[in-house]
Amino acid sequence: MSGNKVAIWDAHTRQIYKRLLGYTKRFWVVGVIAVIGMAIDGGGLAAFTKLLPPMIDKLFAEKDPFLIFWMPIWIVLIFLVRGLGTFASSYGVSYVGRNVVQAMQRDVFAAYLRLPATFFGEEHSGHQVSRITYTSEQVASASTDAVKVVVTEGITVLGMLYVMISTSPYLTLVLFIMVPLITLIASVVSRRYRSISRRIQSMMGSVTGTVEESVEAHREIRIYGGQDYAKSRFDDVTNRTRRLNLKVAATNATSSSAIQTVAALALAVMVFLATRPGEIDKISAGVFIAVLTAMGGMMPSLKRLANIQSNIQSGISAAENLFEIMDLPPEVDTGTRVLERAKGDLRFEDVRLVYPRNSFEALRGVDLYCAPGTVTALVGRSGSGKSSLVSLLPRFNAPTSGRILLDGFDYESFTLPSLRRQIAWVGQSVVLFDGSVAENIAYGELAGASEAQIVAAAEAANAMEFIQRMPQGIHSQIGQGGNLLSGGQRQRLAIARAILKNAPILVLDEATSALDTESERLIQQALQRLMRDRTTLVIAHRLSTIEHADQIAVMDQGRIVERGTHAELLARDGHYAALHRMQFHSHSGD
């Protein structure tokens, strides 16, 4: 137990708490009003309790006319003021709390936008989602509750203590029994609660993750009959959360009944004390009731105060989880050179890439030169490292060794944003956003594009053909992730987006794989035009689409094993010729 006490106030924890308080700084005015409200809230009850002895003894026993007039007014006034205080404290705490939640959510989300691509492969996306939906709520409620408890309950306890001592110091002795017992119960409860709450926090991530996966894979689940598997996995995580939550409930219930027992014990002690010979005549009914009420009013406050450690602790551990993410180093961007528009002179020099997660060497010394305005095609078996090679261009991964030069300068010397502005990209899996066709084509920095430009890009991508048939043309909604579109339509939107970007480097990773031969040819023509004044890297399994490339590089196991034009490579009769022969035969076969 003493270990916990140390843990809660050590330097690290204090720092987290300080940082947390930093979030509330902007709302200090509301905060101060709320704290005043808490004070009134806590003091109001004590003030009322203080009225009990005169009310009971003087009002009824002595029929004091002064009190008969003032007592009802006092009661109404006390509760009016207390009502205002309660409102100010409750609403103020919620106001600050909601704002803190939003600020934390914003900061975590900002971190997600800033973190390197490698971060997203390392953690289950469910945990990333629940950090925003669950953990940040925890932080806010724990930290604002902590303040509320300290102030409201602290003042209640002090007020009640004052009422007790000023009414009857003798009866106040009962506290020597009650306070240690309640503190003991609360500290046992809080220790248990703390260990559970941390587990609940990580379980929430698993629940979110499981749901996400099943919702995304709803087709696969149906086709492969994965319902039972999905269900049992879901049952598994929800069972565990239920059990954890029930443990919390059991702990709470146990502590409630224990506290009740303490209350009964305290009452018994009070009765015993009050009925001692010599005391029984001195203590009036009003005094007894007042002390009893004060003691009863103090008890829940004491319990909450003793519990505060666990409250703070769970907030701290939630906050720690969020701050860790916010503090992760952003993408490495040591570059200082700002590129306006690159010529597109690209050179890979002995580039190697080892994926840190599995230490897999995906690239084993790639040398490649792409002259401005030329098309380089990468072909090769699945898993040979084609996508890995082009993923170096937007610096999603940094080469483990070797270097890349753009326009003769080291790739690392450019700032990330200016570098990424040079690249248009159509990836192997198309990602679209929930929105209209136009919003998807003119996405991000392209958002300023005119309607005419968007239509022109869509036309070049051979996408106008199907966009025209949609009810609102380019303003039609495409559904979440473009789920109202066919695979080929999605690819064409992605190509239109890349065309609109009009960047000097164009990467097409299997960009037309989902298209029929006819649309592919049409796009190819548009791309031919587009490729003229830029450096293009095309990855394609269908060799017919890359025959006209200026150079074709054949990759195998992370190396370039052959390089040349279509005619040269055919003449060499090596890997490429073999690949080509296979495709030629299979094509002539159908």
Positions in the binding site for ligand ATP (CB under 6 A): 121, 355, 357-358, 360, 362, 382-388, 428
Distances, alpha carbon 126 to alpha carbons 115, 138, 214, 450, 481, in Å? 17, 17, 12, 38, 18
Judged by CB under 5 A, the stretch of 174-182, 299-307, 384-392, 498-506 that binds Mg ion is: 384-392
Rounded CA gap, 226 and 214, in Å?
9
Cα dihedral across residues 446, 448, 449, 451: positive or negative: positive
Cα→Cα distances 239→53, 213, 245, Å = 53, 18, 10
Alpha-carbon distance of 259 to 428, in angstroms, equals 63
For Mg ion, the closer CB: 342 or 507: 507
Strand 551-556, strand 360-370: pairing? unpaired
Nearer to ligand ATP, 297 or 427 (CB): 427
Taking residues 331 to 370 in sequence order and writing x for each that binds Mg ion by CB under 5 A, - otherwise, the string is: ----------------------------------------
The least CB distance from residue 84 to ligand ATP, in Å, is 59
- Residue placing its CB nearer to ligand ATP in the complex, 331 or 459: 331
Q: Which does 85 bind (CB under 5 to 8 A by kind): ligand ATP, Mg ion, none?
A: none
Question: Least distance in Å: CB of 561 to ligand ATP?
Answer: 13
**Residue 43 vs 380, nearer CB to Mg ion:** 380
Nearer to ligand ATP, 398 or 446 (CB): 398
Is residue 382 classed as helix, strand or coil in its secondary structure?
A: coil
Closest CA to 149 of 103, 91, 98, 89: 89
Residues near 568 by beta carbon (within 8 Å), at least 6 away in sequence: none
The CB-of-542 to ligand ATP minimum distance in angstroms stands at 12
Least gap, CB of 507 to ligand ATP (angstroms): 12
By beta-carbon proximity to Mg ion, the closer residue of 292 and 554 is 554
Q: What does 385 interact with, of Mg ion, ligand ATP, none (CB < 5 to 8 A by kind)?
A: ligand ATP
User: Measured from the CB of residue 507, what is the shortest distance to Mg ion in angstroms?
Assistant: 11
Residue with Cβ nearer ligand ATP (384 or 422): 384
Residues in the chain: 590
Closest of 140, 96, 136, 143 to residue 112, by C-alpha: 136
Q: Are 446 and 370 in contact (CB under 8 A)?
A: no
User: Residue 336's binding partner, choosing from Mg ion, ligand ATP, none, with beta-carbon cut-off 5 to 8 A by kind?
Assistant: none
Q: Which residues contact 404 (CB under 8 A, 6 or more apart)?
A: 346, 347, 348, 349, 351, 392, 393, 410, 411
Shortest reach from residue 430's CB to ligand ATP, in Å: 14
Alpha helices (H) in 275-284, listed in sequence order: none
CA gap 20, 28 in Å, rounded: 13
- Closer of 192 and 575 to ligand ATP (Cβ): 575
- Residue 401 binding target from Mg ion, ligand ATP, none, CB below 5 to 8 Å by type: none
Judged by beta carbon, residue 93 or residue 366, the one nearer ligand ATP is 366
- Find which of ligand ATP, Mg ion, none residue 89 binds, CB within 5 to 8 Å per kind: none
**Helix ranges (DSSP H) in 275-382:** 285-327
CB closer to ligand ATP out of 319 and 366: 366
Provide the residue type at 329 as one letter.
Answer: P
Cβ atoms of 463 and 492 closer than 8 Å? yes
Question: Residue 357 binds which entry of ligand ATP, Mg ion, none, with Cβ cut-offs from 5 to 8 Å by kind?
Answer: ligand ATP
Instruction: Return the closest-CA partner of residue 537 out of 371, 309, 301.
Output: 371
Contact 318, 138 (CB under 8 A): yes
Count of CB atoms situated within 10 Å of the CB of 231: 12
Asked if 583 is part of the footprint of Mg ion (rule: CB under 5 A), the reply reads no
Closest approach of ligand ATP to the CB of residue 541, in Å: 7
Which of Mg ion, ligand ATP, none interacts with 417 (beta carbon under 5 to 8 A by kind)? none
How many residues form the binding site for Mg ion (CB under 5 A)? 2
> What is the C-alpha R_g of the chain?
35
Q: Which does 383 bind (CB under 5 to 8 A by kind): Mg ion, ligand ATP, none?
A: ligand ATP
Q: How far is the CB of 331 from ligand ATP (least distance, A)?
A: 16
Residue 121 binds which one of Mg ion, ligand ATP, none, with CB within 5 to 8 A depending on kind?
ligand ATP
> Is 213 exposed, middle or buried (CB count within 10 Å of its CB: 0-12, 13-18, 19+)?
middle
- For residue 361, the SS3 value is strand
Q: Which part of the chain contacts Mg ion (CB under 5 A), choosing from 74-82, 369-377, 382-390, 490-498?
A: 382-390
* Nearest residue (CB) to ligand ATP, 115 versus 274: 115
Minimum CB–partner distance for residue 387 and Mg ion (Å): 3
3-state secondary structure of 233: helix
Residue 358 binds which entry of Mg ion, ligand ATP, none, with Cβ cut-offs from 5 to 8 Å by kind?
Answer: ligand ATP
DSSP result, 501-552 = HT-SEEEEESTTTTS-HHHHHHHHHHHHHHHTTSEEEEE-SSGGGGTT-SEE
CA distance 119 to 151: 41
Reference 380, options 538, 568, 588, 491; nearest CA is 538
Binding mask 413-432 for Mg ion (x = CB under 5 A): ---------------x----
Name the minimum Å distance from CB 28 to Mg ion. Answer: 53
Shortest distance in whole angstroms from residue 431 CB to ligand ATP: 16
Residue (286 or 385) nearer to ligand ATP, CB? 385
Nearer to Mg ion, 342 or 511 (CB): 511
Piece of the chain touching Mg ion by CB under 5 A; list 18-26, 228-236, 348-356, 386-394: 386-394
d(CA 573, CA 260): 90
**Out of 387, 413, 418, 544, the residue judged to bind Mg ion by CB under 5 A:** 387
Of these partners, ligand ATP, Mg ion, none, which one is at the site of residue 127 (CB under 5 to 8 Å by kind)?
none
Query: Where along the sequence are the contacts to Mg ion (CB under 5 A)?
Result: 387, 428
